Structure 1
């Protein structure tokens, strides 16, 4: 009886093996059918492989955390020992308890957590290939060393942060190659077309979005990150193919919230890497170029959240393809690149696990010190209660996304403080309802980063913008105090939102304020649904209600075509966007202009075209696209620059040109086409560097400001070659905040106070318009925050920021500064809506 059973068992084993019923863990090469580095692996196959590993290894679990704009799946993997997996929720919650962000006492089951993020830039493609290699090495049954590391640590792997950008690049590259790769830098396959694969669907650089969270991929990823709060975070990148490899420690300047331990352990990690790189004679460098200051990188934002945040950069990028000849005559291959990233990733896991106890202890100290003994001069930040409630709502929503706590002041007091509006230290009054953010909290360091008036720069040679202060960013009045105020009453963002309909039930007109992007979203929605609206160009009072310039007036008589659905559409949109509506029973005002006056302008439905393609900045084009598509939610037609000359502009009443250099695009014939369209009534909106292409051409009045340069001093003439970079920055600003004085009687500035704070991205400045409307101007002593070179100050002062020129029957809107930059400068966005809905009407 036993012999037949044995035969049956043998048969079943052979059957299961041959049919795959007993699946086995496969290496990437076995699973994919080619050696990593031989070709690019598209997103769906990377996803298939990491899913395979999770299904066939007890050391891995896979978790979907979201989808991209193009509906590609986003996942992360948790890699650790079987024992740790059995207690993984305890480990995770313990870690949050150590931060103070989760209530309760942590048990002794504490593990170091290392998070590896791959492919945030889509055309820096080797890192997702390296992620598969690293994942397999960690779980390979024959690798005893990795099993020891996984006993002491948890490794989280996000194999592809930006699938949309990566697939854009990979699919393009695979369509360009022949039977063999061509490493000649001039080869077609090494010169990707606009917009390139670096950015996501909306052409946003997601490595600048970690803090601001404007993109759906970032929003979903950060929510998961905050569920774990890792101790070490690595963001994998690529740079120019003639550079070798960059790893920690980072370059200066460091933001002054960064602790000695964070800088010390960066060095420890970097030295561990050198052990492997030296063994293989691989070139590398540290402490140059990539600093730790701007808060929205994949190294800085984790650092300000207590982690050891690092960027690793390998030679390559979109211009390296699968193989490229370097300046030394060597061929840099995709296999080389992924191998170096793989080794650096494994080294990071190793050194973190070896130092696990200290890593966890110092991480705990970071949050304890923040809550109990915070560094920095300022101990609390105040947002005045009488600010625009929509702006307060959005600030508090942002603070919630960062896990930063706040409350009300609780009592009235007078004190000395830095006044963000004046830029001066002075005596101020704080009321009981004012909102307070104290740095005595777990995320106190992060609060400092977002609110400090002018964070100290140890070195002015920095990699990015140098200001992002929250009061200026959201357009809010408030103070920074060197004394602490403990917030009292708990509040929430929704406390500052209303949706109340008052006045007549079936009014002559609905009236609502205009002073935030929420009002613009309301107008965008009802306009798309066929509602016709007007806006007042003067302040007015009606039936006891006071309204400012820009307020919307939605007349029943103008909307008879909607019949019974008129009230429903308007009221539903008001509810959607938390807008107050006043139902006026008459068009006769107490003061101001009656609703039939020429001072109450009809809003022609905007038909908007946006120019994008070669010649435009893909980032700026993406900012405009995202603004209309995702923020304002108003339709546009995107016209490729290659198609511009055959486009019929008469179909549109507004044309937006994003920032860019427009080389070969805005030819004389193209400028004449635009000029003719504007003269016939078009509304041309120029953003950032797009203004350059119109200076002193075809009757456009804009001119660049000229500042007399002084003769160089003997000291300057004899300055050393090594100081050349430092000398050059004296004429620049890398992103600073300036007060702009607004002419609030012009529709472009409706909804704003007379003071607006702009993000100045360049010292390139323009003169006031001789025969136009100088609506936003930078006057003397207007600087507020961020680095500005000494010689750049005179260039920026007394210059134009926003202007409008009447041009025939149309208008030209000059937006010298880009209010949509990276989608995070919230207070500038209403001006773009004004340019679309109000200017020219």
Structure 2
């Protein structure tokens, strides 16, 4: 009995030790900061901490990456708040009008901390372990005060696939003792680097467009919580110090006075930590609040305080890097310390203003719903009969906007958004109406803005993004308030007619049409298309219309297969009884041609732009679900040309990839029936080469005043010869198959000038004239280079074709009509 009592007393004595949270060091088995922790270990650490603190932490798996890794979010607060977490959420959304009813209790500030959106900025995910430990450390009085007064959301790694790509590589090549030598292999990250996600997209540019799986899943949860504050943790070049707010100019004009003030306040709290420790830092440079698709600007447009933190380091820094400019060695430990300090500063800032943080957030959304600012009170999007608003409607849903169809005909006046002209507007029954009187109308206004005001020209990303341009919409802004009659149009549902048709017709106007075509071809369906417009049964059909005839498809379950695939892709089919048309080519005419299922190859690897390649890869695999074979650019010379129908060269540096001999091999392949698609700087490889009609325009010599430019104005001098992303309307030859389905006006985001002369032996399908600029910043020197120049060209060569794209139509998967153009390039 005595021994039993002693054993029970022993168990009681060690119980606190078992209940104590493990530090990151204890859990990992190595000191935090001495090695990059693999993603699964970070996830397991969060699970371990949650298991010991179930009353104060809730861990949610909100999605998975393309490679199957979990996307996790930890909710951390007091036990009282965690017990009523759903009540807090619903009261919060009621208070801002995103749920019906009235809140029956006040809510605490909700702070969302996002780490590691760029995979090789790997300090962030490692910092998250220290953050979660200290938030739940009962001996830390400061963090326990945070939990009493806030709900804190911690995302340890937004981009697990990129993070793991980096850490797997680094942990394989690092020395036992980190090599601080800058030219060591552990500071030379291989292509494509860990910055991007699986499809090599920059997730920090995807908040507004939500083209990526990770973004869609994260924003869906974000919209369920609508945090008051969102902090985004990054790294920059290793020679730099640390950036925190105030942000640099330009600010978007719709950033409120309160948000500007709080941005300054965050900087004050950060400075206390950095000044106390004599850490270097900078503010008000480089990182602006203009383009509304970042982790700071998109939340800002949603009413939150959005901030970015940038630690010097990134993929090159590794575990330790000697820096001659700073006379120090930059270590992972020091980077963790800095990010941890700004995390605390963030939470302290919110704590200091918690009542006003909540009241200003409520006011932001109530004002938006009841008295929206801006000239337009309703946006009208014409649907016509082209079905080209499917993608747009899906995007509206992901953003959380309210909208619907008009439900009746209305005649009024409005401003056509791409031309900024006031016109009569005839609103039809199925046109979309989006009222500005809704809680998210500030975001709506910013994204619809066709020409956002830019207070400073020094900015490093897209400066024009109007939704009418991006989605290729006929859209109007109305000064009057109109209310939709119903939430949405009826879904498309095709059925097999009782009298089996001669053919099915499908219009070509939306990216889903390309996905429909791709699936038809994969299933062995014979698909034809008309290269000229035609009319039948009093209906007009544009060039590019798909004609799916019964003849030639006898070996497949024709009607069932075609209609089921059309329903899958929300494509409206028109069954017809004859191949005779009233105007235009009959279906047996030479202008009605068969489309083949091509074998497509795209180059990747050293020298190729990762994001340009990633956009192509994503287009085939996720947008149209059509097979693409990826080949390392270094293996181009050994390509079995007879097995390739289409070769895509993404943007890149091709001087070391394509030799003159390979140019000759490519030309021979094209002449035998191949199709070459050269994009952006890939076109450099063919300029003035024999047989290729691409030439560079004559450029004027540098003016004398450029010779004596001022060193202190270097940044602005550079900006004068740049276009970080401006909107242009390309003049198109709409009769050419590359332009089919691209609409009456084709807009694109121009980021560089290639100064290509018009083709003398080929088709100048798309080009810029004197007045094609629409919106966004273009430097004074760059502006002259973006006039009277070829953008899209096609050259017939023997039995094949070369397509020159000095513009990337699938850039960031943003441009709806660009996807149509690229589909034409591949399949037509």
- Equivalence map 1:559-578=2 (5 Å): 559-562=553-556, 565-578=557-570
1:80-108 deviation digits (Å, cap 9, x = unpaired): 11111122222112221222111221233
Quote the offset at 1:187 in angstroms: 0.3
- Point out where structure 2 has 5 or more consecutive residues left out of the alignment: none
Aligned length: 824
Aligned to 1:487: 483
Residue 687 of structure 1: aligned partner = 679
- How far has the Cα of 1:42 moved from its partner? 0.4
Contact 2:434 2:484 in 1 (8 A): no
1:597 deviates by 2.0
* 1:652 aligned onto 2:644: yes
| Cross-structure match for 1:643 | 635
Matched, 1:587 2:549: no
CA contact (8 A) 2:601 2:630 kept: yes
The residue that corresponds to 2:5 in the other structure is: 6
Residue of structure 2 aligned with 1:210, choices 192, 207, 218: 207
Task: Describe how 1:284-299 pairs up with structure 2 within 5 A.
Answer: 284-299=281-296
Residue of structure 2 in register with 1:351 after alignment: 349
Separation in structure 1 between the aligned mates of residue 91 and residue 497 of structure 2, nearest angstrom: 54
Deviation at 1:623, TM superposition (A): 0.3
1:138 to 135, 149, 171: 135
Match of 2:815 in 1: 825
Q: Distance in 2 between matches of 1:179 and 1:429?
A: 70
Residue 615 (structure 1) aligns with: 607
Partner of 2:331: 333
> Residue in 2 aligned with 1:398?
395
- C-alpha deviations, 1:505-524, integer Å up to 9, x for none? 43333322222222211111
**Contact 2:240–2:312 at 8 Å: present in 1 too?**
yes
Match of 2:32 in 1: 36
Question: Structure 1's 509 and 396: CA in aligned 2 closer, same or farther, altered over 3 A?
Answer: closer
- Residues 1:420 and 2:410 are matched in the alignment: no
Partner of 2:805: 815
Match for residue 429 of structure 1 among 425, 429, 445: 425
**Aligned equivalents of 2:589 and 2:632: distance in 1?**
41
Of 656, 670, 676, which residue of structure 2 is paired with 1:678?
A: 670
Matched-pair contact (CA < 8 Å) for 2:116–2:157: yes
Provide the rounded CA distance (Å) in 2 between the counterparts of 1:680 and 1:420: 46
| 1:88 is aligned to 2:63 | no
Report Cα offsets for 1:273-296 as digits up to 9, x if no partner.
111111110000111000011111
- Matches of 1:480 and 1:330, distance apart in 2: 56
Query: Any idea what the Cα deviations from partners look like across 1:113-169, whole Å, max 9, x if unmatched?
Result: 111000110000001111100111111121122111211111100001111111111
Q: Secondary structure in 2 aligned to 1:557?
A: coil
User: Which of 512, 521, 534 is residue 515 of structure 2 equivalent to?
Assistant: 521
In the aligned structure 1, how far is the partner of 2:52 from the partner of 2:632?
47
Alpha-carbon offset, residue 794 of structure 1: 3.0
User: Cα gap change, 1:414/1:511 in structure 2, threshold over 3 Å: closer, same or farther?
Assistant: closer
Q: What's 1:251 paired with? A: 248
Q: Which has the larger displacement, 455-464 or 704-713?
A: 704-713
1:631 corresponds to 2:640: no
With over 3 angstroms needed to count, the CA separation of the structure-2 counterparts of 1:206 and 1:403, relative to structure 1, is: same
What is aligned with 1:310?
307
On the 8 A contact 1:620/1:659 being kept in 2, the answer is yes
Aligned counterpart for 1:499 among listed residues 493, 511, 533? 493
Q: In structure 2, the residue corresponding to 1:558 is in which secondary structure? A: coil
1:679-698 superposed Cα distances (whole Å, 9 cap, x missing partner): 11100111222122221123
- Cα offset for 1:387? 6.6
The residue aligned with 2:267 is 270
Q: Tell me how far apart the structure 2 counterparts of residues 225 and 693 of structure 1 sit (CA, whole Å).
A: 45
Deviation at 1:825, TM superposition (A): 1.2
CA distance in 2, matches of 1:356, 1:234: 16
Name the SS for the 1:472 alignment partner. Answer: helix
Contact preservation (8 Å) 1:508, 1:556: yes
How much has 1:710 moved relative to structure 2? 7.4
Structure 1 residue 17, shift from structure 2 partner = 6.5
Alignment check: 8 A CA contact 1:743 1:754 kept = no
Q: How far does the alpha carbon of each residue in 1:34-74 deviate from its partner, in whole angstroms, 9 at most, with x for none? A: 11110000010000101111110132111110110000011
Q: Say which of 456, 459, 463 aligns to 1:459.
A: 456
2:227 alignment partner in structure 1: 230
Give the secondary-structure state (helix, strand or coil) at the position aligned to 2:321.
strand
Kept in 2, the 8 Å contact 1:675–1:698? The answer is no
Are the equivalent residues in 2 in contact too, given 1:498–1:578 (CA < 8 A)? yes
Q: Distance in 2 between matches of 1:77 and 1:668?
A: 56
2:109 equivalent to 1:112: yes
- Report the Cα distance in structure 2 between the residues aligned to 1:61 and 1:174, rounded to whole angstroms: 31
Q: Is 1:504–1:584's contact at 8 Å kept on the other side of the alignment?
A: no
User: Contact 2:754/2:806 (CA < 8 Å) preserved in 1?
Assistant: no
**CA shift in 2, pair 1:380/1:507, >3 Å:** closer
- TM norm structure 2: 0.96
Question: Aligned partners of 2:575, 2:427: CA distance in 1, in Å?
Answer: 33
**Helix, strand or coil for the counterpart of 1:763?**
coil
State the Cα distance separating 1:531 from its structure 2 match: 1.3
Report the CA distance between 1:370 and its aligned residue: 1.9
CA contact (8 A) 2:379 2:434 kept: yes
RMSD (CA atoms): 2.1
Matches of 1:180 and 1:397, distance apart in 2 = 51
- Inter-CA distance 575–803: structure 2 relative to 1 (3 Å threshold): same
Equivalent residues of 2:647, 2:677 under 8 A apart = yes
Cα contact 1:28–1:136 (8 A) shared by 2: yes
Shift of 1:544: 5.1
CA gap 1:710/1:13 in 2 versus in 1, 3 angstroms? closer
Corresponding residue number in structure 1 for 2:725 = 735
In structure 2, the CA distance between the partners of 1:17 and 1:87, relative to structure 1 (3 Å rule), is closer
Instruction: Tell me whether 310-319 or 775-784 shows the greater mean CA deviation.
Output: 775-784
Larger mean Cα displacement after TM superposition, 598-607 or 719-728: 719-728
| Residue in 2 that maps onto 1:167 | 164
Q: What SS is found at the alignment partner of 1:559? A: coil
Deviation at 1:707, TM superposition (A): 4.3
Q: CA offset at residue 555 of structure 1?
A: 2.6
Match of 1:702 among 694, 704, 710: 694
Kindly indicate whether the alpha-carbon contact (under 8 Å) linking 2:521 and 2:596 is maintained by their aligned counterparts in 1: no
CA distance in 1, matches of 2:101, 2:662: 66
